[in-house]
Structure 1
Amino acid sequence: MDIEATLDRAAEQCAARGSQLTPLRRQVLRLVLSAGQPMGAYALLDKLREERGVAAPPTVYRALDFLLEQGLIHKLERLNAFLPCIEAGHAHAGHDHQHQFLICGRCGATTELTDHAVAHALEAAAARAGFKPGRMTVEVEGICAKCQD
């Protein structure tokens, strides 16, 4: 992944929506993109402090909220951590595509899927129960192929 190109696309998309990928937001997105695994807010804060010197938790949380709102990152509820969206720089603000995450319980590797059959099955099951889903995120914990070897 070309992180700088992804950041540039993300900045262009934000600008097209009337938002701004400020230097701080860009830096937080770069940290998430380059992490290689889901990162918690406090781990991001520590990295940000290494690079900027002073940073407070609200600073990171505001940047993360913006990046979530713009569809550039996801939050894994199970791990309370953040990771880049596979469509980062291509997603539409307010458009929360339906996604699934496979989380390895041993090494923490996380894979994002966008399997429309899973999303349709969940929508159908919800409709049968008289429920109208909003945001749908499926998190599946198991063992990745690498750890199975």
Structure 2
Amino acid sequence: MPHGDHHHHAPSDPAGALREAEAACLRRGAQLTPLRRRVLEMVLEAPQPVGAYALLDRLRAERPGAAPPTVYRALDFLMAQGLIHRIERLNAFISCTESAHSGGEEHPHQFLICRSCGRTAELSDDSVVAAVAAAALAAGFSPARTTVEVEGTCGACAASD
């Protein structure tokens, strides 16, 4: 059964999303430091997946001494807390649309990535995970985590062609 079909976009209430993230971190005994909070805010504001170096460039405008390890440590923390995902194909990061509901636990997710505009939709469809797990089992493989990335054309771009 699918958890939902979510298109990634900047949340209509970024402040609310940040409050939820802070509350989730507190519940888990983790600290959303000002730097981690700012990196999360920049990911939330991005209209499509954003790379670490794009985040670093934005961060350096505010904190001239920011270095790559600074951003990567913040991104690692945010991923560990289930607040963002890494889109492997794009080497970029996207906010998690399920984090408020998942309690930060790993959840199945699939990403639909538009080749034309870069929009990315996050799906959490258990039937996709079950199909991959069944195929893996048939091949004698036991998956630990399943992430599926699908490239194609979103409805808006298809309609404009």
TM-score (norm 2): 0.88
Larger displacement relative to structure 2 (56-65 or 111-120)? 111-120
CA distance in 1, matches of 2:73, 2:50: 16
Q: Is the 8 A contact 1:9 1:90 kept in 2?
A: no
Q: Is the 8 A contact 1:13 1:90 kept in 2?
A: no
- Quick one: which of 92, 110, 121 aligns to 1:81? 92
Q: Is the 8 A contact 1:11 1:21 kept in 2?
A: yes
| Cα drift, residue 113 of structure 1 | 0.6
CA distance in 2, matches of 1:73, 1:43: 16
Work out whether 1:46 is the aligned partner of 2:57.
yes
Work out whether 1:138 is the aligned partner of 2:148.
yes
CA distance in 1, matches of 2:78, 2:43: 10
| Number of equivalent positions | 148
CA deviation digits over 1:101-147, x for unaligned, max 9?
00011111111011111111111111111211111110000111111
CA distance in 1, matches of 2:102, 2:86: 15
- Quick one: which of 9, 34, 40 aligns to 2:20? 9
Q: Is the 8 A contact 1:70 1:91 kept in 2?
A: no
- Quick one: which of 37, 60, 79 aligns to 1:26? 37
Identity %: 60
Could you say which structure has the greater relative contact order, defined with CA pairs below 8 angstroms and 6 or more residues apart?
Answer: 2
TM-score (norm 1): 0.94
| Cα drift, residue 41 of structure 1 | 0.2
Gap regions ≥5 residues in structure 1: none
- Measured on the aligned residues, the alpha-carbon RMSD in Å equals 1.1
Aligned twin of 1:105: 115
Work out whether 1:121 is the aligned partner of 2:112.
no
